[in-house]
Amino acid sequence: MSKAKLEYIWLDGYYPTQNMRSKTKIEENFSGKLEDCPIWSFDGSSTRQAIGHSSDCLLKPVAIYPDPGRENGYLVMTEVLNPDGTPHVSNGRATIDDDDNEFWFGFEQEYFIMDRHTQLPLGFPVGGYPAPQGLYYCSVGGRNTHGRELVERHADYCIAAGLNFEGINQEVACGQWEFQLFAKGAKRAGDEIWVARYLLDRLTEDYGYYIEYHPKPLGKEMDWNGSGMHANFSNHTLRTCGSKEVYAKICEAFRPVVEEHIAVYGEYNDLRLTGQHETASIHDFSYGVSDRGASIRIPIITVEKGYKGWLEDRRPASNADPYKVAARIIKTVKSVDV
């Protein structure tokens, strides 16, 4: 009789930045299929999702992946439900209007690897600063590259888990990295980012590190790039219209709802979106071809293909919830009559 370890992963009720929580369920003769993952429960009073005298919340499995770090293990991404089966207020996934998977998302997740003992990014000396940014981006060698062993293990784990993992690179600041994921379907894209974050965070336990998703952990006054989670997105119209005018109309639809987008694009994003370090100001809205200083970038590849492709919203912060980002982008794009 075989026993499987099912790691149920969910998002807690902390606001505005939610944290991942997880616990293990042992199942006998488990098939490995999502439909055979039972609904489970947890103590919501310990995660800011319920009160003590009525503390049960439900975990509804929504995606399953093999767990590369455990023998006969699985990673089960879940949604949090109220006891009556309705979505919990903290459940951003349930707000996504994309049941037909028309929307495709590619997220670029940036982050800093932090030394748990010094509380500084890797490569930062205690009491000082490393060389200015410039040679860290896509670097190689021990002088400028820090944390590669962790990053490579994470890539291997994500691939082994079956995530649609598309790449890694060291980023502009010292100790800063990025990975990319793509999925057809907004909910699936969100699932995969959260599972990839979970695997990355779990691996840091082996190294005495932790991952910092704060978009500007070194402070606004520091001359270092912050961390974002750029959201590349498309729907059928963007992939097929072949019209510069349609692209402009969709981009313009984002202008009057800037505040609504910024509200779900991550905590402390005002420290990052300053108009410097490859960002647009949080107070402005702009779009342009191949412009990394714009709010929304129209990729040059999209233009070269005759305006058949995708857009990139560069504003989401590294700590943003991909479910909420996708839900807001979809709402805005669907508001356009084309």
Q: What is the pLDDT of residues 229-246, one digit of tens each?
A: 999 999 999 999 999 999
**Which of 247, 273, 248 minimizes the C-alpha distance to 259?**
273
- What are the CA-CA distances from residue 228 to residues 53, 180, 189 (Å)? 39, 12, 16
Alpha helices in the chain (DSSP H): 148-160, 186-204, 236-240, 244-253, 258-262, 269-272, 300-304, 322-334
104-334 fold: Creatine Kinase; Chain A, domain 2 (3.30.590)
Check if the beta carbon of residue 230 is closer than 8 Å to that of residue 223.
Answer: no
> C-alpha 118: how far from its chain's center?
26
> C-alpha 46: how far from its chain's center?
24
CATH 3.30.590.10, the chain: domain bounds: 104-334
Check if the beta carbon of residue 64 is closer than 8 Å to that of residue 32.
Answer: yes
Taking residue 248's Cβ as centre, other Cβ atoms within 10 Å add up to: 13
Residue reference for tokens 């002088």: 143
**275 Cβ neighbours under 8 A, 6+ residues apart:** 281, 284, 293
pLDDT higher at 200 or 279: 200
* The two three-digit tokens of residue 22, written as one number: 């997880």
Integer Cα distance of 103 and 31 in angstroms:
30
Cis omega (within 30 of 0) for bond into 16: yes
Confidence class for position 87, pLDDT limits 50, 70, 90: very high
Check if the beta carbon of residue 163 is closer than 8 Å to that of residue 195.
Answer: yes
Check if the beta carbon of residue 35 is closer than 8 Å to that of residue 61.
Answer: no
CATH 3.10.20.70, the chain: domain bounds: 3-91
Question: Could you read off the pLDDT of 6-25 as tens digits, one per residue?
Answer: 999 999 999 999 999 999 99
Flag whether pLDDT at 304 surpasses 90: yes
Check if the beta carbon of residue 198 is closer than 8 Å to that of residue 123.
Answer: no
Flag whether pLDDT at 218 surpasses 90: no
Mean predicted confidence (pLDDT) in 269-280: 88
**Residue 70: its pLDDT value, please?**
97
Confidence class for position 146, pLDDT limits 50, 70, 90: very high
Mean predicted confidence (pLDDT) in 297-320: 98
Q: Please give the backbone phi and psi of residue 336, each rounded to the nearest 5 degrees, phi first.
A: -90, 130
Check if the beta carbon of residue 57 is closer than 8 Å to that of residue 83.
Answer: yes
**Residue 277: its pLDDT value, please?**
72
3-91 fold: Ubiquitin-like (UB roll) (3.10.20)
Measured CA angle at 283 (ends 321, 169), to 5 deg:
45
H/E stretch holding 26: strand 20-28
Q: What is the pTM of this model?
A: 0.97
Flag whether pLDDT at 222 surpasses 80: no
Check if the beta carbon of residue 317 is closer than 8 Å to that of residue 268.
Answer: yes
Residue reference for tokens 């509200």: 263
**Residue 1: its pLDDT value, please?**
64
Q: What is the mean pLDDT of the chain?
A: 96
* The two three-digit tokens of residue 160, written as one number: 């082994």
**Residue 44: its pLDDT value, please?**
96
Share of the chain above pLDDT 70, in %: 99
